[in-house]
Every structure is written in C-alpha cells, then in structure tokens.
Chain A
Amino acid sequence: KQEVTQIPAALSVPEGENLVLNCSFTDSAIYNLQWFRQDPGKGLTSLLLIQSSQREQTSGRLNASLDKSSGRSTLYIAASQPGDSATYLCAPEAGGGADGLTFGKGTHLIIQP
C-alpha cells in the first residue's frame, strides 16, 4: 500500500524567501505525481503534474522535481508571497489511465507579510 510523507508538516517564513517542500512515497512504481494547494475549507487546486518519465516541471515561481527511483519529489517556491499561504499536498498515482491518488497530510505553509 502506497504511503506518502510530507516534510515539514508546517512552515512559517517571511515573504521573499525561497522554499523547498519535500514529499516521499514508499512505492516507486508510480505513473505520475501531482502537487496541489488547498486553502482552508476549500477544494484542491492543481499546481503541477509530473509524469514518471519526467524529472521536473515548472510553472511560474513553482518548480517540482521527481526522483522516482528513490521515491522523492520536491516543490520549490521562489520569492514566496503572502498569497502562497496554504496547505500543499503531493499525490502520486499508482497506475495508468484512471487511478485514484494517494495523499500525504500536507505541508501547512504561512508566509508572513
């Protein structure tokens, strides 16, 4: 059974800092991995999807990397802003086609103005 761990569980930093959020998963036989953000009481917003054949994906100030063989992914946030405050979730997908995602507990991020 896939298990996902995210470190740190919580992080509070002043704005402007560059951040790295870590995600590890126990079963490296994944099809892809998706990063989301969740604002309090809301649904999930997809940030990036990395396919298993890729090493990284970039979108604006966000960069996600994937080391499938070691079961790790990182989300890099450049020049953090207060609007980045949210819970960040990583979720690997086991199979191809239409499989459900396995989630960790997330990293709760607060960016101080």
Chain B
Amino acid sequence: ETGVTQTPRHLVMGMTNKKSLKCEQHLGHNAMYWYKQSAKKPLELMFVYNFKEQTENNSVPSRFSPECPNSSHLFLHLHTLQPEDSALYLCASSQGGTSNEQFFGPGTRLTVL
C-alpha cells in the first residue's frame, strides 16, 4: 500500500449503529486529519492529530470520536449519527513543519439511514 488509505470505502448505517472509519498513512508523516465533505458545502476540518496528540477539534459533535493510536493510524468512531451526517469523510496526513503539504485518502462515503 502506498500513500493514504481509508476503509471502508462505502458505509451504510442506521442511526443506532456504532461503526468506525479507519485511515492509514504509509508516508512517514507525523500529522493526520479528518475532514467532512457534505453535498454543496466546502470541505470542513474536523480533527487534527500531531504526533498522536489531538491539537484541534473544530466544534465537532460528540457522536464523532477520533482515535490516533500511533502516527500511522487514525480512526473515527461513529455512534448515534443523524441522517445529516451523511457525507464523504476524508483523511489526510502531512509531515508538519515548514512544508506542510497534505495528502488525502480516497474517502469513505457514509450514508446514515
């Protein structure tokens, strides 16, 4: 595997389900990010992890719970979601520092019924 990978690519869940999204980066980066892309809205930053520490939570509801066990893996745990949470969830990683180019994964298309 190369770059940034995300699983699953598609997910359909009910409002009472609990599921997790997984992101893995193979670039040796130190920072990882979750973004949300809803229809007709700009990409929105959700969370930032730098060296496994959460450095930003962009006022995200508590039904979204991130986890970063190491610099290569990032999870987004989902529970009791709402239909308006249906979106494309994108993971990104970067080296940090002076040239902080971010590289994105292919995304997980989430549908909440």
* Residues of A near any B CB (own CB < 8 A): 4, 31-32, 34, 36, 41-46, 49, 51, 89, 91, 93, 96-106
Contact = CB atoms under 8 A, between A and B. Distances in A.
Given A98-B30, A98-B31, A100-B56, A32 B100 contact: yes
B100 A31 contact: yes
B98 A51 contact: yes
Given A51-B99, A96-B98, A101 B45 contact: yes
B56 A99 contact: yes
Given A43-B4, A43-B107, A105-B41, 10 more contacts: A42-B107, A43-B6, A44-B90, A46-B104, A51-B99, A91-B43, A96-B98, A97-B100, A98-B31, A105-B40
B27 to A, nearest CB: 12
Interface string B76-113: 00000000000010101010111111111111010000
A50 to B, nearest CB: 10
Given A42-B107, A43-B90, A46-B102, A100 B33 contact: yes
Report, as a range, how many residues of chain B touch the other chain. 20 to 34
Contacts, number: 72
A97 B43 contact: no
Contacts of A89: 43
A35 B66 CA distance: 27
Contacts of A91: 43
